[in-house]
Amino acid sequence: MSYDYNTQRKRMALPEYGRNVQKMVDHIKTIEDREERNRAAKTIIQIMGNLNPQIRDIGDFKHKLWDHLSIIADFNLDIDSPFPPPEPDKLVERPNEIPYKQGDIRFLHYGRIIEMMIDAASEMKDGEEKEYLTSLILNQMKKSYVTWNRSQVSDDVIIGDMKLLSGGRLKMTDGVKILEVKELVPPVKKKPQQGKPHGKQMNKQFNKKKGHIRH
């Protein structure tokens, strides 16, 4: 007896549509009549849309389905598509490299994002918006400090670090507020201890058992 394993079958370009859709696409390639081939392609498009209804949330989902049909057919399907087929080279094109900022981070527990936020806030004009962003930065710095160091920290330390990272450009004003640690970091819930009863609970159980003794 011979078994048909998926590993032995043709590789699917878009597995989310399933093996049956792949077989349909392979079949319509063999249809010689162009009109019949076009009708079959439209039927497959409807099936693909029903199998992946989330694509309907995309603005031009019809275009996306026709692109997927071309990909499943390995760009070898001669039909009258309402949209130009995608270019195969675009699918294998390497994405552009993301430029990462080089250089050491002054305080690892704050991270580079905080440094970037401080630079952005330092360039802002004085006012409520700058004070609000400064408050967010200080509270995030305090939260990060406590999370990494597992200890309390005074607000003066956080303010001093902010001034150091900003080169003295960011300062405390009346509109800047720093929250308490308990407001920033939720308390760790202790798991209930499982085991033998202690104290009052043990006495209650002892008295309960004692009450059932009969002479």
Q: Classify residue 73: in a domain, yes or no.
A: yes
* Whether residue 34 is found in the same domain as residue 74: yes
Q: Classify residue 32: in a domain, yes or no.
A: yes
Q: Classify residue 171: in a domain, yes or no.
A: yes
Q: Which of 63, 91, 119 is the last residue of a domain?
A: 91
Distance, CA of 135 to chain centre? 26
* Whether residue 87 is found in the same domain as residue 125: no
Least confident of 11-20, 97-106, 167-176: 97-106
Q: Classify residue 61: in a domain, yes or no.
A: yes
* Whether residue 15 is found in the same domain as residue 82: yes
Q: Which residue has the tokens 């405390």?
A: 172
Q: How confident is the model at residue 122 (pLDDT cuts 50, 70, 90)?
A: very high
Ordered DSSP codes for 40-87: HHHHHHHHHHHH-GGGGGSTTHHHHHHHHHHHHTTT------SSPPPP
Q: Classify residue 132: in a domain, yes or no.
A: yes
Q: How confident is the model at residue 153 (pLDDT cuts 50, 70, 90)?
A: confident
214, amino acid identity: R
Note the pLDDT tens digit of each residue in 174-196.
888 888 888 887 766 666 666 55
Q: Classify residue 174: in a domain, yes or no.
A: yes
Least Cα distance to 72 among 109, 103, 47, 36 occurs for 47
Predicted pLDDT of residue 106:
83
Q: Classify residue 56: in a domain, yes or no.
A: yes
* Whether residue 83 is found in the same domain as residue 50: yes
* Whether residue 129 is found in the same domain as residue 76: no
* Whether residue 23 is found in the same domain as residue 80: yes
Whole-number mean pLDDT of the chain? Answer: 81
Structural domain of residue 136, as residue ranges? Answer: 111-184
Q: Which of 91, 121, 150 is the last residue of a domain?
A: 91
Q: How confident is the model at residue 119 (pLDDT cuts 50, 70, 90)?
A: very high
Question: Does the pLDDT of residue 208 top 70, yes or no?
Answer: no
Note the pLDDT tens digit of each residue in 27-56.
999 999 999 999 999 999 999 988 888 777
Q: Which residues contact 18 (CB under 8 A, 6 or more apart)?
A: 51
* Whether residue 135 is found in the same domain as residue 178: yes
Spell out a b/e string for 119-148, using b for 16 or more CB atoms within 10 Å of the CB, else e: eebeeeeeeeebbebbbebbbbbbbbbbee
* Whether residue 176 is found in the same domain as residue 133: yes
Q: How confident is the model at residue 215 (pLDDT cuts 50, 70, 90)?
A: very low
* Whether residue 86 is found in the same domain as residue 17: yes
Q: Classify residue 5: in a domain, yes or no.
A: no
CA distance 144 to 115: 13
The number of domains in the chain is 2
* Whether residue 72 is found in the same domain as residue 120: no
Question: Does the pLDDT of residue 7 top 80, yes or no?
Answer: no
- In this prediction the pTM is 0.44
CA distance 199 to 183: 34
Predicted pLDDT of residue 47:
92
CA distance 10 to 6: 8
Contact 83, 63 (CB under 8 A): yes
Q: How confident is the model at residue 102 (pLDDT cuts 50, 70, 90)?
A: low
* Whether residue 127 is found in the same domain as residue 85: no
* Whether residue 24 is found in the same domain as residue 68: yes
CA distance 193 to 191: 6
